[in-house]
A = this chain, B = another copy of it.
Amino acid sequence: MQRYFCNSLEDKTFTLSDDDTYHIVKVMRMEIGDEIEVIYNSKLFITRILELRPVKAIIIKELDTYNEMGIKVTIAQSLVKESKMDLILQKGVELGAYSFIPLKTKNSIIRLESKEDKKIERWQRIVKEACRQSKRNVIPKVFNIMSLEELGELDYDLKIICTVNELTLSLKNLLQNANKCDTIIIVIGPEGGFLKEEENYLIQKGFVATSLGKLVLRTETASLVALSMINYEYER
């Protein structure tokens, strides 16, 4: 069944957004009486369509399901070109990321000053769409673009920076020896990697330099690998 996010509920009836109305009516060609899933307030409802423009749908029942997972993993991804960023967001949602921080670094390819708002909005839309497809109940937040200094001030139980130096601590070693943690942040460098001084700055701010293994990974693959490994370790 198709699934939509909604934040407008009145009299047991959801009113869906223009985008979702378009998708339901034009793309899915659904009609009055058809059923859709609606996520509201992180809860999942089965609903029946009552009206089409905009789509209004009444609750039939609330499902007792909650597929979000204990540990909250934030991906701080250095800016890369658009198509790669899209892939990172889509796959990140699919693999259970809790939120995303786009990160400005010395080697980041893209410089965006004026259009930043539009970018974030677009990324947030991609994340929402990926959520729908991955049947997740909570939409991960895409934060505004941060500097390394802003990142350094954030508070997480476990702060990880992925390095290309395979001689550093492995992620497995780190996770298996870490205290119980509820929030993890993983920082992924840009193509070309962090400058030594950037890496050192984060380490000084409590981030642990960690290797994802012996393989040569591209920047757009690193977050997916890290998330897969965390899911494996904690059996999410």
Where the two chains meet, the residues of A that have a C-beta atom closer than 8 Å to any C-beta of B are: 67, 69, 91, 94-96, 133-136, 170-172, 213-218, 221, 224-225, 228-229, 231-233, 235-236
In the bound complex, how far is the Cα of B229 from the Cα of A229, in angstroms? 6
B171 touching A221, Cβ below 8 Å? no
Assembly CA distance A168 to B143 (angstroms):
36
A232 to B171 alpha-carbon distance, docked (Å): 8
Asked whether, in the complex, the Cβ of A94 is within 8 Å of the Cβ of B221, the reply is yes
Closest to A215 in B: B96
Q: What is the distance, in angstroms, from A84's C-beta to the closest C-beta of chain B? A: 12
Q: A228-B225, A229-B228, A229-B229 given as contacts; is B215 within 8 A of A94 (CB)?
A: yes
Nearest CB of B to A173, in Å: 8
Asked whether B213 lies within 8 Å of A235 as measured between CB atoms, the reply is yes
